[in-house]
Amino acid sequence: MAREVSTGRKALVTAVAWGIGLLIFFPILWTVLTSFKTEGEAVAPHPSFLFFDWTLENYETVNARSDYLLHFWNSVVIALGSTLVGLLIAIPAAWSMAFVPGRRTKDLLMWMLSTKMMPAVGVLVPIYLLARDTGLLDTRVGLVAVLTLVNLPIIVWMLYTYFKEIPGEILEAARMDGASLGSEILYVLTPMAVPGIASTLLLNVILAWNESFWTLNLTAANAAPLTAFIASYSSPEGLFYAKLSAASTMAIAPILILGWFSQKQLVRGLTFGAVK
Amino acid sequence: MATQASRITGRLMLSPAVILLLLWMIVPLAMTIYFSLLRFNLLMPGTEAFAGFENYQYFFTDPSFWPALANTLTLLLGVLAITVVGGIGLAVLLDQPMWGQGIVRILVIAPFFVMPSVSALVWKNMLMNPVNGLFAALARGLGLTPVDFFADVPLASIIVIVAWQWLPFATLILLTAMQSLDQEQMEAAEMDGAGWFWRFLHLTLPHLTRAITVVVLIQTIFLLSVFAEILVTTNGGPGTASTTLTFLVYMQSMLQFDVGLGSAGGIVAVILANIVAVFLMRMIGKNLEG
């Protein structure tokens, strides 16, 4: 039975919800708009909302600085790299816990989760010194390694909750039909696991892209991803609002779009399956 | 049903993840504990010496320690209050029938995907700047004196920025929980003449309890580690007005190169986080049974 709602009430709810939604979204909208202004208009005492001379010069300026592209590329490599390595390690682990559970599987899962609870600052010094002494400080390889480990528990957990939903009877049926373990994984499990793996990949790329403790502390000029590059704008020099906006817009746009596609997975991934 | 062979295969598939996480957890933590017992400054190599609990003593008697602890808790509780209350409100609102629900959802969720350094810089420069910021322009338009947010109310300003980033998370999770609310029960209560507020208090809130707990616990884990927002906006200042424990440890180890002292602070942070973690683990563990 669908609930009857008066049009008047629906209109009111719509107006309030859109108002609040736009208010929350406003800082992002304002950044995007400012990125199309000239520096002069960006700091005008009476800022204009839409009626200014739209320009792309800030994007050109930011892109012309070759280091912007380097940092963008660093972000891509670090976010994708740590996610793919993480998946490579986590898929077999999650598979085994979901389909060949032992008596200790639950404890193991909880223990993996507990490693995520450790505040980063508690291991900042040793990780920094280890990275320095192994020459991995300010390298993409070093950051990929650290972020892989930081997010591995979330990857394992997400995959586990997805794999858990694949009915075990299908595997038994395949086994009775004489499928070997290899073909069982390849032809039966993989097709069913692909959506779960894809969601995990998406969420983890977002988390790694925005990770801001290790990326800020372990990088300098060479391997700094966008998080660290943009943080370096924190001491303003001259007129830079419009360029800052352009750099920011480019840094958040890809993830914003990915994020909107992954709303559902976000809930599951970030609550470790406690809310679905 | 698992055969011996598949059990062994399972173990093998599990071991890389387990071994890596075991190393990741034990090695650095053991090193931090070890460093915390040393007199160890990176600027004075070769002078390391066993110091017992001296570093802990210094850390607790550091004039920045109590303000940092107070700031950590204020930030935590402030952000939690805003996001939980706001999140419940938004979840209830967004659950109503309306036009363009999907788009409103997208608008509300967006801040969560903005990287911390970008949101901190945008708020600092374009909104809260006392000269060129939009808030200053609005204040002038209303004939008021613009507020210098990061000088006058640094911690409150950071709370606003962090709450803006986490409100979407709370909303999204509470909204997901709302959608599993039993509609028939709601309608039955409505037909029995129960008012909106009664239904919210006796049906909606109890249904959301579990999700609220999860939101509080998970946010706590992340909020104890807030870093970029402080680094970019105030650098912990003015004075210690916006220094948190995480930031204090960062300053001691990365700026003053006092590895011993920073490590002791790190261990204190770990203990603090563990107290929270125990509760969170229990919640999630309970769910695993079902």
Residues A36 and A167 in one domain: no
* Chain B residues lying within 8 Å of A149, measured CB to CB: 20-21, 24
- Asked if B14 and A93 come within 8 Å (Cβ–Cβ), the reply is yes
- Asked if A125 and B266 come within 8 Å (Cβ–Cβ), the reply is yes
Does the pLDDT at position A190 exceed 90? Answer: no
Distance CA(B1)–CA(B223), nearest Å, equals 44
Distance CA(B284)–CA(B290), nearest Å, equals 11
Min mean pLDDT across A27-31, A95-99, B67-71 is at A95-99
Length of chain B equals 290
Return the residue in A30, A48, A117, A206 with the most chain B beta carbons within 10 A, the one to mutate for interface testing: A117
Does the pLDDT at position B203 exceed 90? Answer: no
**Bridge partners (DSSP) listed for residue B258:** B41
Average of per-residue pLDDT values in chain B: 87
pLDDT tens, residue by residue, A20-65: 999 999 999 999 998 998 887 777 777 777 777 788 888 888 877 7
Quick check: is A41 in a domain?
Answer: yes
pLDDT at A2: 47
The residues near B27 (Cβ < 8 Å, ≥ 6 apart) are A126
Residues A54 and A70 in one domain: no
* Chain A residues lying within 8 Å of B18, measured CB to CB: 93, 108, 112
By DSSP bridging, strand B38-39 and strand B49-50 are antiparallel
Distance CA(A243)–CA(B187), nearest Å, equals 53
The residues near A116 (Cβ < 8 Å, ≥ 6 apart) are A150, A153, A154, B221
Length of chain A equals 276
10 Å CB burial of residue A43 (0-12, 13-18, 19+) is: buried
**Candidates A17, A31, A244; nearest CB to B94:** A17
Number of domains in chain A: 2
Give residue A20's domain range. Answer: 7-58
Does the pLDDT at position B288 exceed 80? Answer: no
Quick check: is A247 in a domain?
Answer: no
Distance CA(B197)–CA(B194), nearest Å, equals 8
Does the pLDDT at position B1 exceed 70? Answer: no
Distance spanning both ends of chain A, measured CA to CA: 24
Residues A40 and A87 in one domain: no
Distance CA(B262)–CA(B266), nearest Å, equals 6
C-beta separation of A85 from A155 below 8 A:
no
Distance spanning both ends of chain B, measured CA to CA: 21
The residues near B100 (Cβ < 8 Å, ≥ 6 apart) are A14, A18
Quick check: is A257 in a domain?
Answer: no
Quick check: is A244 in a domain?
Answer: no
Distance CA(B137)–CA(B203), nearest Å, equals 44
pLDDT at A275: 72
Q: How far is CA B183 from CA A1, A276, B56, B87, B96, in A?
A: 10, 18, 55, 20, 12
Residues A161 and A109 in one domain: yes
Residues A100 and A199 in one domain: yes
HEC sequence for B28-61:
HHHHHHHHHCEECECCCCCCCEECCCHHHHHHHH
Return the residue in B21, B93, B99 with the most chain A beta carbons within 10 A, the one to mutate for interface testing: B21
**Which position has the higher pLDDT, A164 or B76?**
B76
Quick check: is A274 in a domain?
Answer: no
Distance CA(B211)–CA(A262), nearest Å, equals 19
**Which position has the higher pLDDT, B240 or A221?**
B240
Q: What does DSSP assign to residue B258?
A: B
Q: How confident is the model at residue A142 (pLDDT cuts 50, 70, 90)?
A: very high
- Asked if A18 and B250 come within 8 Å (Cβ–Cβ), the reply is no
Quick check: is A120 in a domain?
Answer: yes
Residues A110 and A220 in one domain: yes
Q: Domain residue spans in chain B? A: 65-242
pLDDT at B290: 45
Å from A89 to nearest chain B CA?
A: 6
Cβ-Cβ contacts under 8 Å between A and B: the total is 310
Residues A51 and A75 in one domain: no
Å from A42 to nearest chain B CA?
A: 8
Quick check: is A250 in a domain?
Answer: no
C-beta separation of A81 from B241 below 8 A:
no
pLDDT at A3: 55
pLDDT at A239: 64
Q: How confident is the model at residue A237 (pLDDT cuts 50, 70, 90)?
A: low
Other Cβ atoms within 10 Å of A102 Cβ, number: 15
Quick check: is A149 in a domain?
Answer: yes
- Asked if A18 and B100 come within 8 Å (Cβ–Cβ), the reply is yes
Does the pLDDT at position B289 exceed 70? Answer: no
Does the pLDDT at position B70 exceed 80? Answer: yes
Return the residue in A24, A113, A146 with the most chain B beta carbons within 10 A, the one to mutate for interface testing: A24
Residues A35 and A150 in one domain: no
**Candidates B126, B249, B285; nearest CB to A30:** B126
- Asked if B140 and A45 come within 8 Å (Cβ–Cβ), the reply is yes
- Superfamily covering domain B65-242: MetI-like (1.10.3720.10)
Q: What does DSSP assign to residue A219?
A: -
**Bridge partners (DSSP) listed for residue B39:** B49
The residues near A131 (Cβ < 8 Å, ≥ 6 apart) are A137, A142, A146, A218
What's the pTM value of the predicted model, to 2 decimals?
Answer: 0.87
Residues A119 and A211 in one domain: yes
* Chain B residues lying within 8 Å of A97, measured CB to CB: 10, 14
10 Å CB burial of residue B9 (0-12, 13-18, 19+) is: middle
Residues A160 and A109 in one domain: yes
- Asked if A172 and B116 come within 8 Å (Cβ–Cβ), the reply is no
Does the pLDDT at position B104 exceed 90? Answer: yes
Q: Annotate A10-45 with DSSP letters as a single string.
A: HHHHHHHHHHHHHHHHHHHHHHHHHTTS-HHHHT-S
pLDDT tens, residue by residue, B124-161: 888 898 888 889 888 888 888 888 899 889 999 999 99
Quote the ipTM score. 0.85
HEC sequence for B223-252:
HCCCCHHHHHHCCCCCCCCCCCHHHHHHHH
| Residue A225's CATH number | 1.10.3720.10
* Chain B residues lying within 8 Å of A255, measured CB to CB: 113, 115
Residues A171 and A38 in one domain: no
Residues A75 and A207 in one domain: yes
* Mean pLDDT value across residues B16-26: 90
pLDDT at B81: 95
